[in-house]
Amino acid sequence: MATKTILALTPGHPGQLEALDKDYTILRLWKERDAEQAIKENASNIVALTTYLAPVRANLMDALPNLEIIAGGAVGFDHIDIQAAQDRQIIVTNTPDVLTDDTADLGITLMLTLMRRVVEGDAFIRAGLWTKTGFPLGHSLRGKTLGIVGMGAIGSALAERANAFGMHIVYYGPRKKDVPYPYFDDLASMAAKCDVLALTCPGGQGTKHLIDYNVLGHLGQKGYLINIARGSVVKQDDLLVALSNKIIAGAALDVYENEPNVPDAFFVMDNVVLTPHIGSATYETRTRMGAMVVENIRACLNGKAVPNPVTLEHIN
């Protein structure tokens, strides 16, 4: 009987592939000289696929006739063609909830770093400027209005933290939630009321370029943008124009439209803080995410219900 093979598009989280190695053959695609040939040679044995953020489209699914599950290692799944998977009766899973706290923590970190000018302060000292001149003032969080785009688990956790800093919370989303914060059904109108606009919504076509020049214009010259959602939510060219022309005060970004490629124009802006998609990047959280990937694969290949399914109904 042929050995069941798992195609790993990315190295995965701590302990993830090591756990799967015990019972399955792992095809580590990034180690193959000719990835396409490696897939062809193993196609009939591949029953599961793992990915962190590497895309999985219909053409790859068609190349794997016995594929049963695509086990995503992130909470987001806009990099996986859910429709194509469902059409082919392939199960898709993700790793929800476990990264909520770390991602919300990063949101607060980015706010403080940007508004208190932490990165600028670090560079100021390293350049030897503190002995020559004073450092410019930043802004406090207390009393500011935070507009959250997407009051899901991460948005709610961010609101809880921001509330502890004395911020006023408002939010925008497709529907009103059972939360004690004012709701806006118009994003531009909310942006006009905010000092900080934080993005915590899902990616995908439904939110693509939700934040454009119009929204940024309403946020205004004293407003800050924080993105811990997906890069696709922001129309990146519009953001660059808004920052260059001082239409908004600044931005802190953990995600980008074409990761890991980040426009050089961001690098010379003092009013921008950049991090490399580290919302869930703690050892504790990534280890748990890896364990969830393993749990989903084992359940599927043992004929059991997967703990974390993603379907079109789920998305809608």
CA nearest to 23, candidates 43, 1, 5, 44: 5
157 near 168, Cβ under 8 Å?
A: no
Check whether the bond before 182 is cis (ω within 30° of 0): no
Q: Is 277 a catalytic residue?
A: yes
DSSP character at residue 56: B
* Pair type for strands 196-199 and 224-227: parallel
What SS3 class is residue 2?
coil
Question: Cα separation of 145 and 139, whole Å?
Answer: 13
Tokens of 210: 């939700």
Question: Cα separation of 202 and 206, whole Å?
Answer: 9
Q: Is 79 a catalytic residue?
A: no
Query: Cβ neighbours of residue 253 under 8 Å, at least 6 residues apart?
Result: 225, 226, 227, 231, 234, 266, 272, 273, 274, 275
Which CA distances in Å does 225 have to 6, 34, 96?
A: 40, 41, 25
Catalytic residue among 117, 230, 286, 288: 230
62 near 30, Cβ under 8 Å?
A: no
Catalytic residue among 13, 161, 218, 277: 277
Catalytic residue among 36, 41, 160, 259: 259
Helix axes 153-164, 100-115, angle to 10 degrees: 50
Dihedrals phi, psi of 72, to nearest 5 degrees: -75, 140
Q: Is the dihedral of CA 283, 204, 316, 218 positive or negative?
A: positive
Q: Is 259 a catalytic residue?
A: yes
By annotation, the residues acting in catalysis are 230, 259, 277
